[in-house]
Amino acid sequence: MREINVNGKKRTDVGKKASKEMRKEGFVPCNLYGEKKGENGLPEALSFMVPMSELRKVVYTPHIYVVNLDVEGEKHIAVMKELQFHPVTDVLLHVDFYEINEEKPLAIGIPVNLVGLAQGVRDGGRLSLSIRKLVVKAPYKQIPEKLDVDVTALTIGKSIKAGDLTFDGLEVVTPKDVIVCTVKMTRAAAAAAAAAAAGK
């Protein structure tokens, strides 16, 4: 996984009014959740804010990043867990980060990259990607930027499911029956098949 550095400032006022003022000044309110627990045993959040200019390079990208957070000298390794956008303007309102370490396995969605020319496409079918990411689990140092899925042998009407896939050092968390990709019959291929059957 790629790594990126992000600098933040601690915030003590976490109310809606304070958050609104932060956004006006170009900051995005953020929370970091991790190993730290409060008196009630629930995860305790570190509240901070990050300039939108810094978050833009992490949010608006197809890549998955490990974020090296520096909050006023307090350093954490994290991933973005939840993003909140304005329902109308699509402006980024809030980000939740989740702290990680080298030993503890991390479950995260990684982009699927289809490799090869499917036999079904050669025969006139159309390859369709059903899910863009697969959730895998491993220590973050072992997690790749993308997951290559070989579709060369896939024929018309056949699918590859999450349960069909294995990756070295990774546990696939996505349910086994979830379809990753399919080669669908096109009208042209169906017409060609019908013509061939009629000519026999």
pLDDT per residue as tens digits for the range 15-52? 788 888 888 899 999 999 887 666 676 667 889 999 99
Q: Using CB atoms within 10 A of its CB, is residue 160 exposed (0-12), middle (13-18) or buried (19+)?
A: buried
Kindly report the backbone phi and psi dihedral angles of residue 188, in degrees, each rounded to the nearest multiple of 5, phi listed first.
Answer: -65, -40
Identify whether the C-beta of residue 28 lies closer than 8 Å to the C-beta of residue 50: yes
Rounded distance between C-alpha atoms, residue 63 and residue 17, angstroms = 33
Domain ranges of the chain: 2-99, 106-198
Identify whether the C-beta of residue 136 lies closer than 8 Å to the C-beta of residue 172: yes
* Degrees, nearest 5: CA angle 183-185-189: 125
Domain 2-99 has CATH 2.40.240.10: yes
For position 199, what pLDDT does the model report? 65
For position 179, what pLDDT does the model report? 97
Buried b or exposed e, range 32-63, using 16+ CB within 10 angstroms: bbbeeeeeeeeeebbbbbbebebbeebeeeee
Quote the distance between the C-alpha of residue 36 and its chain's center.
25
pTM listed for this prediction:
0.76
CA distances from 171 to 70, 107, 127, 175 (A): 30, 9, 26, 11
Name which CATH class applies to 106-198: mainly beta
Q: Do domains 2-99 and 106-198 have the same CATH topology?
A: no
pLDDT digits (tens, 9 = 90+) for 160-199: 999 999 999 999 999 999 999 999 988 766 666 666 666 6
SS3 call for 30: strand
Q: In terms of Cα–Cα distance, which of 142, 162, 13, 2 is closest to 66?
A: 2
Question: Which of the four pLDDT bands, split at 50, 70 and 90, describes residue 142?
Answer: very high
